[in-house]
Structure 1
C-alpha cells in the first residue's frame, strides 16, 4: 500500500482540514436535534459500564426496522469493525468488487487472505459472472463509495453461490431513494434473510455522527457466532448504543427518508451545475456523493485547497486514477461557489501549460 494520496488507508477526513469548506467527507452536517438530545440525556450515565438493557434495546430496534430477529443483529463500533471481523470466516479466496471502500481490502490482506479485484468500468454496472467461481467471499458496496452507483438488488442476489458468503456494504443505503416512486432504500437487501448474506450498515453518515462510531451487521445467527469468537467485552459504549436506538427507530427512519429526498434534489442540482460548467460527472450518482473526472485533478485539488475547499482525490481506489475527484453533495449555494472556483482554476491551468520535458 503506497503512501500519500495513493495509500489505501487514506480517507476523506485527511483532506477536511479546519477552515476549509468540506466536500471531502461523506457525512451530513451534524446530528439532528432528537439524536443530540438523546445523547445529552445519557451523559450522566457514563460512569457506569454499558448496560445489557441498552444493548438489547438497540438490537431490538435494528431487528424491528429490518424485519429480522434479534439473533440476526450484531451491533458494531462503526461499520468498519464489520470488515475487521470478516477474516474470522476463514475465507480461502475473497473477491472485492472495485472500485470500492478500501477497508475490506486492508482487513483481508492483513489476515493473509488471497484477493481478486473484480474491477468494473464506468458506469460500473455489476456483472456477477465476472466474479471468480471459486471465490468463497464476495464484498460489494451498495451504494458504492466512491462511484455512488446503486446496484440492483437482483444483481446482488445473483452473486450468491453454494459455499460463498456475500457481504454487502450498505453504509449509505439509508439515504437512497427511488427517483420515480419515492420509495426509500429501493435496492437494500437488509430485509432479506439468507444464510450466506451479510449486510453491514452505519448510522454515522446520515446522522452526522462519524466521531461516535456506530453501526450494525445483519446475518444468520450461525454467521454472527463465527464473527464474534474472541470479541472484546463492551464493544460499544453507552452513547453509541443510544445513538443506534435513536437513529434506527421510527423517528430516525423518518428523518433519514426526509434527508434522502432533500439530498436527491441537491444532488440533481449539483449534477446540472457541474455538467453546465463542462465537468464530467461519472455514472449515475445515487448516494450523498458523486465522482467527477477532471484532467490534472491533483493540481486542481491542491489549488482548491489553497482557495479554501477540501475535496477527495479518488487516486487510491482500485480501478480509478488521479483524474478522479469525489465530491460530497452540499447545498446549492455552496456547490455553486465550488463549481465557479473549479472553473477558474481550470482556466488558469489551461493558460499556463506545463513546460516541455527536456
Structure 2
C-alpha cells in the first residue's frame, strides 16, 4: 500500500488535502459510521421530509402502471436479452455504445464496486456524497480527502499527484454546486481515472456540464434514476465508461445483479419521452429552488448560492438546535456535520413545492420567536 502524500506541485488556494491510510475496518470505526449516515435516517412516516433528495411526489402514474404491467413476469429470471435491450436504450440516451453501459442496482452499487479497480490512492473531493469513500476505506484502500473551502469550486482543488483515482460529484451533494465540465476534465492526468457522480445531473435544465456523452478512456460517469423518478426503493442506476474498465468492475459480481422490474424501470426512464419529461421537471425544480432560496434568505438563513441541484445547503450558527426543534414540529432536515468539510452549523434541505416550504418557514418562525422570548 502506497503512503498518502501531497505534492507542492498540485497545491492551489481554496482547498486542503487531508490524508488517510486505512488498513482495516477497525481503523476510524466511528468515522466510517459517520460516512454511512444518510438523509433517510433522519426522516420517518410522520415527518414532512426535507431530508431526502428524492422527488417527494412519488413515481408518475405512467411509470407505476408500466412497472405494474411487468409483475406477471416475476416468475422468470431476468434475461441477457433484457439486459442488452436496457443498455441499448440507456446508450442511445447518452450517445454511447451499449457495451459502455453497466447497469446497477442503484448508484450506490457503483461505489461498492470501486475497490475492484484497486486504486493506489483515491482523492475524494469533499464536501460530497460519502458512500464512495466508505466503500474504499472499508476495503482497506488509502484515501486522501480534498476539502474544498467555500464557495466549494473545483478550480481550487489540491489533488495529490499520486492519486490514480479522483471521485467527485457534479452537481455536488450537499453543496448544490455545479462544476464546469472543463474544470472536471482538467483533473485528468496520465495513469489517473476520474469518476464523476452525476446522480443529480438530470435536475439541472439541459445538463450543460455533464460529461456522460464524452467517450474518454479515463472517465467513468455514474448516474442514478432514483432521485428524479422517486425510485429509491427499487434501486436503479448505471455506469458509463470504457469497456475495459466496466469489465473489471463486473468481475465477481453476482449473476442476475438486477431484477426484471429494475431493468424495466431503467428502460422506461431512459426512453426519449421520459427524458423530455425529466427535462421539464428540472425547469420546474429550478423555479422552486430559486423561490425557496429567496424565502429562506429572507427568513435569516445563509443559503449557499448559486445552487444547481434538488437541495440547498444552509449555514446556521444554531443549526443543531434548529434541526432538533424542527423534528419536534414534524419536519425532517438533513444534518450537515457527517459530510467531510462541513460542521454542526450546516443543514441540507431538499427543494420542495411552495406549500411544503410554507410549512418549513412557519416552523422556523416559531423557533425564532421562541428563541427571542428566551
So what's the TM-score if we normalise by structure 1? 0.94
1:258 matched to 2:286? The reply is: no
Aligned residue number for residue 297 of structure 2: 275
Aligned mates of 2:135, 2:308 — CA distance in 1: 27
Aligned residue number for residue 216 of structure 2: 194
So what's the TM-score if we normalise by structure 2? 0.90
Q: 1:222 aligns with which of 244, 248, 263?
A: 244
CA offsets 1:181-208 (integer angstroms, 9 cap, x no match): xxx1011000011110000000010000
After superposing on structure 2, the runs of 4+ consecutive aligned residues of structure 1 that deviate more than 6 Å are none
Q: Note if contact 2:148-2:156 (Cα within 8 Å) is conserved in structure 1.
A: no
Q: 2:49 aligns with which of 10, 14, 22?
A: 22
The alignment's C-alpha RMSD in Å is: 1.5
1:336 matched to 2:364? The reply is: no
Q: Note if contact 2:32-2:134 (Cα within 8 Å) is conserved in structure 1.
A: no
Q: Which runs of 5+ in 2 are unaligned?
A: 1-27
Q: 2:136 aligns with which of 86, 89, 108?
A: 108
Residue 16 of structure 1 and its aligned partner are, at CA, apart by: 1.3
Aligned mates of 2:48, 2:365 — CA distance in 1: 17
Aligned mates of 1:312, 1:101 — CA distance in 2: 13
Distance 1:60 1:126, change over 3 A: same
Residue 35 of structure 1 and its aligned partner are, at CA, apart by: 1.2
Residue 350 of structure 1 and its aligned partner are, at CA, apart by: 4.4
Q: Which runs of 5+ in 1 are unaligned?
A: 178-183, 353-358
Aligned residue number for residue 92 of structure 2: 64
Residue 349 of structure 1 and its aligned partner are, at CA, apart by: 2.8
Q: 1:7 aligns with which of 34, 59, 62?
A: 34
1:174 matched to 2:202? The reply is: yes
Aligned residue number for residue 327 of structure 2: 305
Q: Note if contact 1:5-1:316 (Cα within 8 Å) is conserved in structure 2.
A: no
> How many residues were matched structurally?
346
Aligned residue number for residue 290 of structure 1: 312
